[in-house]
A and B are shown apart, each in its own frame.
Chain A
Amino acid sequence: MSALLVAEQLHKTYGTTTALTGADLAVHAGEIVSVMGPSGSGKSTLLHCAAGLTAPDGGLVTYAGQDLFALGDVKRSAVRRREFGFVFQFGQLVPELTALQNVALPLRLDGVARRVAERRAAGLMDRLGLAEKAPARPGELSGGQQQRVAVARALVTGPKVIFADEPTGALDSVTGEQVMDLLTDAARATGAAVVLVTHDARVAAYADRGVVVRDGRSSSRAGVR
Chain B
Amino acid sequence: MTIATAFLALLEDRPQHGYDLKRAYDQHFGSDRPLHYGQVYTTLAKLLKNGLVTVDGTDGEGGPDRKRYTITEAGVTDVQRWLAAPEKPDQYLQSALYAKVIGALLTGRSAADVLDVQREEHLVAMRELTRRKRAGDLADRLICDHALFHLEADLRWLEHTTTVLDELAGQVRR
**Cβ of B120 < 8 Å from any Cβ of A?**
yes
Given contacts A205-B126, A205-B130, A207-B127, contact A212 B116 (CB under 8 A): yes
Main secondary structure of the interface of B (DSSP, over half): helix
Check A212 against B119 for contact (C-beta < 8 Å). yes
Which residues of chain A in 192-224 are interfacial with respect to chain B, using CB atoms and an 8 Å cutoff?
A: 201-202, 204-208, 210, 212, 214, 219, 221
Given contacts A181-B134, A221-B120, contact A202 B163 (CB under 8 A): no
Q: Which of B27-35, B37-45, B61-69, B148-156 is found at the contact surface with chain A?
A: B148-156
**Cβ of B74 < 8 Å from any Cβ of A?**
no
Which residues of chain A in 14-51 are interfacial with respect to chain B, using CB atoms and an 8 Å cutoff?
A: 38
Check B134 against A202 for contact (C-beta < 8 Å). no
CB distance from B54 to the nearest CB of A (A): 44
Q: A214 to B155, alpha carbons, bound, how many Å? A: 15
Given contacts A207-B127, A212-B116, contact A201 B134 (CB under 8 A): no
B127 and chain A: residue at smallest CB distance: A205
**Cβ of B73 < 8 Å from any Cβ of A?**
no
Interface centre among A202, A206, A219 (most CB of B within 10 A): A202
Interface centre among B119, B127, B156 (most CB of A within 10 A): B127
Subset of 20 A-B contacts with CB under 8 Å: A38-B159, A38-B163, A181-B134, A201-B123, A201-B126, A201-B151, A201-B152, A201-B155, A202-B126, A202-B148, A202-B152, A204-B123, A205-B126, A205-B148, A206-B130, A207-B127, A210-B123, A214-B162, A219-B116, A221-B120
Residues of A within 8 A of B116 (CB): 212, 219
Which residues of chain B in 134-174 are interfacial with respect to chain A, using CB atoms and an 8 Å cutoff?
A: 134, 148-149, 151-152, 155-156, 159, 162-163
Given contacts A210-B123, A212-B119, contact A205 B129 (CB under 8 A): yes
Q: A210 to B159, alpha carbons, bound, how many Å? A: 15
Q: A210 to B119, alpha carbons, bound, how many Å? A: 10
- Other than the given A202-B152, A212-B119, A214-B162, 6 more pairs (CB < 8 A) read A38-B159, A201-B152, A205-B130, A205-B148, A206-B127, A219-B116
Q: A133 to B77, alpha carbons, bound, how many Å? A: 52
CB distance from A134 to the nearest CB of B (A): 27
Interface centre among A181, A204, A219 (most CB of B within 10 A): A204
The 8 A-B pairs at the shortest CB distance, nearest first, are namely A205-B126, A205-B130, A201-B155, A201-B152, A205-B127, A210-B123, A202-B148, A202-B152
Residues of B within 8 A of A202 (CB): 126, 130, 148-149, 152
